[in-house]
Amino acid sequence: MHAFYGNAAELLWRAHKEAQWASSQLSEHQAVLALPYPPSTALLQQLHSAAITAEHNISQLQLDIKTALRRRVDASDLQQRLSVLQAELRSSSTVPDLMRERGRLYALARAHFPELLRASPGSAWSGNADVNSKCQVWASDVGIDNGVASSAASQRGLLADGRKLSHFTSYTSVPSSGSKRVYRAVDADGHEWAIKEFDARHESHRRQLFRQVGLLDTLRHPQLAAVHAVFEDSRICGGGEAVFLQVPWYSGGDLAGWLGTKQPADRALADCVQIIRDVMLALQHLHAGGHVHCDIKPGKHSTSNVFLTRAGRAVLGDFDGVRQMDASLSMSTVTAATLHYLALEVKSGAVVQFTPACDMYSAGVMAAEVFGSVLLNDNQARERDVLLSGLQQEVPAWRLSATNALALPLLSKGAPTEPQRQCVVCAEVKPLSEGVLCAVAVEDEQHFNCDDCLAGWVCALASEEQGQKSQLMRQGGLVHCMGRGCGSGAFDAHTIAMHITPEAHALYQLAKEQVARSDESRRLQAEHNAVIAAMRQEFMTTLAANEAEQAARQGELHVVDTILTLHCPTCNAAFLDFTGCFALTCGTCGGAFCGWCLMPCGNNAHPHVRVCPSKVDGGTSDYHHTFDAFKQVQNVRRSRLLWVYLLGVGSAELRRAIERRLQPHLRDLGM
């Protein structure tokens, strides 16, 4: 009886989940089924190769033209060939066909072969290197290789599976540069976020998103915009799938707004210096990591990518154009940047690569706009002019680097170092970015938990001793501040993922999954108790019925509850799940017992299971066997107990009535 109701409840729950999934995917499946012909990988590979070849030829001609102009050589023939190639590309159907076929194949793969899009470390296929490699090669050949970025986002706790736009109470469109839409969203807790939409079918959008996620994950800094989450959903405007990048909404607005509302005469020198210093800190960190931003702009002549916190600190964002220092200069990058802020050597075509010096020139133009006509004394004016002239030198090699700019008197005087805090555990003084502050109401009373101690704390909480549940499981997977007597709330999962080691995060994730399974077991237990309670109620309501029928119903209830249902031998709680290991632990009392003979074994059942006389041959180890073996040995035990019980029934008629009522339950158990 227990197995019948337990399995039925689980099947019903699974069916409900499958129905939800099927409903959400129905339109996508119908679109795939309605295709006039199935998507062809061979055709897409051919189109993808043709598009890459055309792009390479055009880029090479553009580079040759720049070289010819720099050498003062006639480039008219090259320019004519470039015009012909561009006209052929515009008139041909290669690009539209490529986008259409890629969208069709992506929809088919996502609906029916998701493993092709998930082939990356940490995925379900990571155990099979050959399959994993082939999936990655296939995705790369057709231009939809997104496994690496998804893996990086997942490993750092950024990939928010299950999150949808409906989780936000509101979202409104805001002006943005480029072709990506940006929304200002508010979640259920009242927190504001910026949500940037990337078309999952558009190759450039997808690659820009993955570049930003990987870059911001590896180059975290207080002056670089932080990624909070990445999730998938339908596009807000138009059809198709989109991937959304969730970052904080900076309440101070952007630098364009600040320049518009703060007239030069109203700007405090300290505020201007702080903004430029923050941008220099961001560029210093970005350049040290081997990257160039390529599009520094405050927004006076375009959309801004410099944002301000509530306290007026500048944060650099919009990393669509970020490139490696040794990356070739592409026309797409140049046209995406704002001409007013481009370095002179980029405008003239004198360079073939973006360099940190290009960023510094753009930052110099921005600094000139920020300082504007701010009232300064003679000394301050000289220091400002030294900074601006050093940043806007015509010769890139003479231009100031971010580190050199930060060392100038204007930016170095009174410059605060990164806030330092003392760890509440190890008492080591560390930068604020290398730890977590608890969320107590009074800011001055916040405890600082450094990354090393937090990782050690999570590992300690997740460890199991002598087969007992870990403390992290007993706490429901919650990790709190380590300050003595601290009553602050638990840290959120994203914060923990950002501040602990991959090894500690793996233990943390395992404990969270165990908590989820435990919750599910309790739910099934509650459903089972409800079924038994309903049977008892039914018995009580029919108490005045035929005496023989009442006795048979009572006998059925006794057999189902005490013989057919498996119970913990210590606390008598019913247990409903079996995972393959016969060393069982009760989810209610924590007591250990044998899955063969159900004998109580204290805190550890493994020694007894190894030598249990009820064990059947076979199995994958001394402790593991199949569910069929478990079912077989328990059915033998049930049959023996049922036979003894029926022998004790005095009336043959009553015994036959009980047997008739038990037939459905016995069939469900395979008896």
3-state secondary structure of 208: helix
User: 104-113, 325-334, 563-572 — which one is most confidently predicted on average?
Assistant: 563-572
Pairing relationship of beta strands 592-594 and 583-585 according to DSSP bridges: antiparallel
**CATH number for the segment(s) 153-248:** 3.30.200.20
Which position has the token pair 């690496």?
Answer: 148
User: So what's the pLDDT on residue 398?
Assistant: 93
The tokens for 277 are 């210093």
CA distance 422 to 326: 40
Is the pLDDT at 112 greater than 70? The verdict is: no
> Could you tell me if 204 and 144 are in contact, meaning their C-beta atoms sit under 8 angstroms apart?
no
User: So what's the pLDDT on residue 433?
Assistant: 84
User: So what's the pLDDT on residue 465?
Assistant: 62
User: So what's the pLDDT on residue 296?
Assistant: 86
User: So what's the pLDDT on residue 204?
Assistant: 65
User: 180-194, 461-475, 602-616 — which one is most confidently predicted on average?
Assistant: 602-616
Around Cβ 265, how many Cβ atoms within 10 Å? 9
- Region 557-571: mean pLDDT is 85
User: So what's the pLDDT on residue 335?
Assistant: 44
pLDDT tens string 290-333: 888 888 887 665 567 899 877 688 889 887 777 777 666 554 45
Cβ-proximal residues to 225 (8 Å cutoff; 6+ apart), any chain: 216, 247, 248, 307, 315, 316, 317, 318, 319
User: So what's the pLDDT on residue 110?
Assistant: 52
User: 8-17, 138-147, 567-576 — which one is most confidently predicted on average?
Assistant: 567-576
Share above pLDDT 70 across residues of the chain, in percent, rounded to a whole number? 69
N- to C-terminal Cα distance for the chain? 12
Strands (E) located in 388-545 = 420-422, 429-431, 435-437, 448-450
Sign of CA dihedral 123, 127, 131, 134: positive
User: So what's the pLDDT on residue 51?
Assistant: 67
Is the pLDDT at 4 greater than 50? The verdict is: no
Strands (E) located in 153-299 = 168-174, 182-187, 192-199, 229-234, 241-248, 291-292
- Region 470-485: mean pLDDT is 78
pLDDT tens string 248-282: 888 888 898 898 888 887 888 999 998 999 899 89
Domain 263-412, CATH number (from 1.10.10.1100, 2.30.330.10, 3.30.70.260, 1.10.510.10) = 1.10.510.10
Which bin fits 34, alpha (ψ -120 to 50), beta or left (φ > 0)? Answer: alpha
Distance of CA 527 to the CA centre of its chain: 33
DSSP sequence for 298-356: -SSSS---EEE-TT--EEE---TT-EETTPBP-HHHHHHS-GGGS-HHHHHT--SB--H
Share above pLDDT 90 across residues of the chain, in percent, rounded to a whole number? 9
> Could you tell me if 313 and 380 are in contact, meaning their C-beta atoms sit under 8 angstroms apart?
no
Which tops the pLDDT comparison, 206 or 624? 624
Is the pLDDT at 561 greater than 70? The verdict is: yes
DSSP sequence for 370-392: HHTT----HHHHHHHHHHHHHHT
User: So what's the pLDDT on residue 363?
Assistant: 93
pLDDT tens string 337-358: 567 788 888 887 777 678 899 9
Distances (CA, A) of 305 to 176, 321, 325, 585: 9, 11, 20, 56
**Where do the structural domains in the chain lie, given as residue ranges?**
1-28, 35-144, 153-248, 263-412, 434-439+446-511, 543-668
> Could you tell me if 165 and 233 are in contact, meaning their C-beta atoms sit under 8 angstroms apart?
yes
CA distance 397 to 395: 6
What residues are paired with 273 via a beta bridge? none
Is the pLDDT at 11 greater than 60? The verdict is: no
> Could you tell me if 196 and 181 are in contact, meaning their C-beta atoms sit under 8 angstroms apart?
yes
CA distance 162 to 159: 9
Cβ-proximal residues to 99 (8 Å cutoff; 6+ apart), any chain: 201, 202
pLDDT tens string 183-205: 899 887 677 888 888 876 666 66
- Region 236-241: mean pLDDT is 65
Is the pLDDT at 127 greater than 60? The verdict is: no
Q: Read off the pLDDT band of 506 (50, 70, 90).
A: confident
User: So what's the pLDDT on residue 16?
Assistant: 53
Cβ-proximal residues to 113 (8 Å cutoff; 6+ apart), any chain: none
User: So what's the pLDDT on residue 273?
Assistant: 93
pLDDT tens string 24-61: 445 444 544 454 445 555 665 676 677 667 767 777 77
pTM higher than the cut 0.85: no
Is the pLDDT at 385 greater than 90? The verdict is: yes
Which tops the pLDDT comparison, 420 or 496? 496
Around Cβ 132, how many Cβ atoms within 10 Å? 20
Is the pLDDT at 489 greater than 80? The verdict is: yes
